[in-house]
Chain A
Amino acid sequence: MIQRTQAIRRSDILLFCTQRNEGARLPYFLRYYRDLGVNHFLFVDNDSSDGSREYLAQQPDVSVWHTKASYKRSRFGVDWMNWLLGRYGHGHWTLVVDPDEFLVYPFCDTRPLRALTDWLDASSIRSFSAMILDMYPKGPLGIHAVQPGEDPFQTSCWFDSGNYTIQKNAKYGNLWIQGGPRARMFFADRPERAPAMNKVPLVKWHRSYAYVSSTHMLLPRGLNLVYDEWGGEKASGVLLHAKFTESFVAKTSEEVQRRQHFANSHEYRAYEAGLGDSPDLWCKWSEKYINWRQLEILGLMSKGNWA
């Protein structure tokens, strides 16, 4: 455990992340979020064996906690995150993402993250939505290697732009979004089991808040009302999801073995079944990623009234 939390200043933007053997991704991940203006990273390392924990411990703006406990027992990391958030996140803008999730928000190419959080503060908005957008390469999965430090979206630059479904969750008030290449390729016969794409990763944290299930929804319920119900658009972003890089195939079989994921890892088992013939998620209607403005025009995110 390496703690540099005493270096956190009152106005700092904090990033919270759980990772396991993501050594290949971390250099780019840290660079990406440092460039956006994250001030301090708080990692939970779930017993990595690839040296990634040691790598993180060397970073001047990173604190790492090590656990050998079961990911599943900790409700898929939510308990760890909530504990850290309550302890260190109170009063800060906090970003909770996985090592393969990269936040894109309106004007992210010209305005740092602090511009967004300042605007959210001024607008009395406490939480900011960013749905997951699965990015995939063209061609069978597993043939494009991403070197450590390299931008995974150089090759995984394609996405599905318009095949999502939305339902409102009456209990927590959040939207439940499904769809994208995973629903299309792996869950076509059981769409109700397709993974949730809605996320609320950026929150002005208060110690009374808690994530309920991953970062898909929070308590109190008001934090989930990131959408407008009267026809208008609220500002929102996208989490580019570098899931289908070359390590996906290997990771899938490992995760099926570990059985540490949600609902008996049915998601990974579906992938394993689908991966048998090394599928190509790409189709001629796949969109090639350009920038946030493209995502806004496609209606995947919105500037809201931020101009």
Chain B
Amino acid sequence: MSLGFVMLCHTALGRAAQVARHWSTRGCPVVIHVDKRVRAKAYDKLRADLADLTDIRFSPRFACEWGTWGLVAATQAASAMMLRDFPGVRHVYLASGSCLPLRPVEELVAYLDERPRTDFIESVTTEDVGWTIGGLNIERFTLRFPFSWRKQRRLFDAYVRLQRLLGFRRRVPAGLVPHLGSQWWCLTRQTLSAILDDPEREQWDRYFRRVWIPDEGYFQTLVRLYSSDVESRSLTLSKFDFQGKPHIFYDDHLQLLRRSDCFVARKIWPHADRLYATFLSDELRNQPRAEPNPGKIDRLFAKAVERRTKGRAGLYMQSRFPNSDWENGMTAAPYSVFEGFSDLFENFDLWLGKVAGSRVHGHLFAPDRAEFAGGETIYNGALSDSASLRDYDPRAFLVSLIWNTRGERQCFQFGPNDRQKIGSFLARDPNAQISVISGAWAVPLFRSNLNFGDIRREAARLQKIEAEHLDVLRSVKAKARVRIWTLADFVENPMEPLQAIIDEISPRSLRRLTEAPRMADLTGFGQFLQNLRNQGMQPVLMGDFPAGDDPRNATTRRGRPYLVK
């Protein structure tokens, strides 16, 4: 047969034996290397298990610590044995003990027969590699690495830093252009023998012995010297996570692997009985086949890496609790906060719900309870309206609400009568659209039936709270979309700001507002403010309302909605 497999094994030897038997009985010779650190008993058992097969060899054993020369030495010895003992072999496929063939080996042989001169090896110049661990690309070839990355990480890192500091560089031997790539390749006899029998091999080996992770660089670099036809990709489907560890395949990946049309996959979980049973059986023959296309698997693992590194925006839970400014989205979705609107307009929430098509709550941070839309006492996610539960952690309350209602925009009212602790969070959250009519809290006071002395005291209190809140909204740290109008400005021309807010909430509707919310009657409001002034309180947040000069809506008939075309 024209194809031979070199297998590097260190654990789960039983599975390796199964795969070796599969290949060997289908006519492909196999040379097995077993890590020297594997105990003699396990090694002997593997040899005994495969003793009945004539086309299986065991190559001299090297200790293969990850990232060290041993892996290359093992590959060299095993490949040499393959070329020597099986002269019929044209392509040598380097696999590991946790590889699993996904397609009948005849198909792989046919595929290679059509490309008899092609070397399949991922081989990328160091400048173009984006996936290396620890940011080491070219430095793998130019620094020294006497310390183990796994066992002596601190020394490893410190020594790298020291060499960078001193400007130390090893000289890359003349004639070599460092290339990196997956260690799982499939090379032709011509290329492989040229590398192994190179008169200068002694020199290359001496150099690569001290390169870091030489198994991802040795053949990938040297192949460029001899191969006439490098196809820079691996025939082995092998994915790595963000820490450079290979992703593992389980039984539930069966369909995904089947549809990938790849020839070989790694790493397979040794207990994935169904994968081994399925792919080592002969049932897979004669299925329509295409070029290897691991796109779906790529996406699956890319999503896993993204979940691990970025996570879901606005989610706070047992295994995601980001530090401040690392939330990648403080809340899950945009929401709107209206301050003063429900004071100025009657039934503002009903109107807003209708025109914006979103969920409109009352004052979620009211002192006595969270006023959920529709007067509900429990809301999405079983969030309680209890003020004490909410005030125990107002931030958790808000982010939970936004998370629980993903897909439906939330709007709520806020004002100086509410619990203020959430204010700074709202201001910092880019998802918050905050619209403020400052001083509108004076309208209910104006229309109340309180003694004027109490009104005056209450007005002073609310003004102080709102002024502080506005300072937070205007601070340089504020990231929310904030709009602030004084009551006077807003009353002067309410439709334009309302339209702007609605457009932002539902940008695609492009609807002109035809119906305005009903505005409270402000006849005499200017005089009311003047009375406050006369009593020694200075109302400033509502803007300029001259006494006696009532706003325009006072001229419309009482009780009629305020309409603007």
Contacts and interface: CB of A to CB of B under 8 A. Distances in A.
Given A111-B252, A168-B321, A175-B321, A232 B389 contact: no
Given A119-B248, A299-B403, A112 B271 contact: yes
Interface in A98-120: 107, 110-112, 114-115, 118-119
B497 to A, nearest CB: 33
Contacts of B323: 229-230
Contact of B400 (A163, A183, A188, A234): A163
Interface stretch (A57-65, A205-213, A282-290): A282-290
A142 to B, nearest CB: 21
A165 B392 CA distance: 9
B286 interface: no
Interface string A176-194: 0100010110001111100
B54 interface: no
A129 interface: yes
B81 interface: no
Nearest to B274: A110
Contact of B388 (A164, A177, A189, A231): A189
B400 A107 contact: no
Given A283-B378, A307-B304, A236 B404 contact: no
Query: Which size bracket describes the interface of A in this complex?
Result: 35 or more
Nearest to B329: A231
B240 to A, nearest CB: 11
A305 interface: yes
A191 B389 contact: yes
A191 B248 CA distance: 43
Given A163-B384, A285-B382, A307-B300, A184 B389 contact: yes
A137 B107 CA distance: 56
Contact of A118 (B269, B304, B310): B269
B557 interface: no
A296 B432 CA distance: 26
B470 interface: no
A233 B311 contact: yes
A302 B392 contact: no
Contacts of B392: 165, 191-192
Given A123-B243, A165-B396, A227 B318 contact: yes
A162 B309 contact: no
Interface string A115-153: 100110011000001110000000000000000000000
A233 B396 contact: no
A300 B317 contact: yes
Given A162-B403, A229-B326, A234 B389 contact: no
Interface in B383-415: 383-384, 386, 388-389, 392-393, 396, 400-401, 403-404
A220 interface: no
A82 interface: no
Contact of B312 (A181, A233, A301): A233
A35 interface: no
A160 interface: yes
Contact of B317 (A166, A286, A287, A303): A166
B312 A299 contact: yes
Interface string A272-306: 00000000000111110000000000011111111
B381 A177 contact: no
Contacts of A307: 247, 300-301, 303-304
Nearest to B302: A307
A236 B184 CA distance: 32
A235 interface: yes
A114 B311 contact: no
Contacts of A285: 378-383
B143 to A, nearest CB: 24
B307 A303 contact: yes
Interface in B228-254: 241-243, 245, 247-248, 250-252
A307 B245 CA distance: 13
B368 to A, nearest CB: 13
Contacts of A228: 308, 311, 319-322
Interface in B451-497: none
A226 interface: yes
Contacts of A234: 308, 319-320
A192 B391 CA distance: 11
B390 to A, nearest CB: 9
A183 B389 contact: yes
A198 interface: yes
Contact of B304 (A111, A299, A306): A306
B316 interface: yes
A58 B326 CA distance: 53
B481 to A, nearest CB: 22
B320 A305 contact: no
Chain B interface, DSSP helix/strand/loop, else mixed:
mixed
- Assign chain B's interface to a size class: 35 or more
Nearest to B405: A162
Report which residue of B245, B318, B323 has the largest number of chain A beta carbons within 10 angstroms of its beta carbon.
B318
B412 to A, nearest CB: 16
Nearest to A305: B308
A252 interface: no
The residue among B305, B383, B384 with the most chain A CB atoms within 10 A of its own CB is B384
A302 B317 contact: yes
Nearest to B393: A165
A233 B381 contact: no
Nearest to A107: B252
B322 A305 contact: no
Contacts of B317: 131, 164, 166, 233, 236, 299-302
A39 interface: no
Contacts of A191: 388-389, 392-393
Given A110-B250, A230-B326, A231-B327, A304 B308 contact: yes
B195 interface: no
A161 B382 contact: yes
A114 to B, nearest CB: 6
Contacts of B251: 110-111
A286 B323 CA distance: 30
A255 B174 CA distance: 80
A177 B316 CA distance: 11
Task: Specify which of B248, B305, B307, B328 lies most central, judged by the most chain A CB atoms within 10 Å of its CB.
Answer: B307
B382 A226 contact: no
Contacts of A119: 248
B66 to A, nearest CB: 12
Contacts of B245: 122-123
Nearest to A286: B382
Interface string A238-249: 000000000000
B247 to A, nearest CB: 6
Nearest to B320: A233
29 contacts: A107-B250, A110-B252, A115-B250, A122-B248, A131-B318, A162-B383, A163-B381, A163-B384, A165-B392, A167-B393, A175-B321, A183-B389, A184-B382, A190-B388, A191-B388, A198-B318, A226-B319, A228-B322, A229-B326, A230-B322, A230-B323, A231-B327, A231-B328, A233-B320, A283-B382, A299-B403, A300-B317, A301-B318, A305-B241
Given A231-B310, A301-B317, A302-B307, 13 more contacts: A118-B248, A129-B318, A129-B319, A161-B404, A162-B383, A162-B400, A163-B382, A175-B321, A231-B320, A231-B326, A232-B310, A285-B380, A301-B319
Those 4 A-B pairs whose CB atoms lie nearest each other, nearest first: A162-B381, A305-B308, A307-B304, A236-B319
Interface of A: 107, 110-112, 114-115, 118-119, 122-123, 129-131, 160-168, 175, 177, 181, 183-184, 188-192, 198, 226-236, 283-287, 299-307
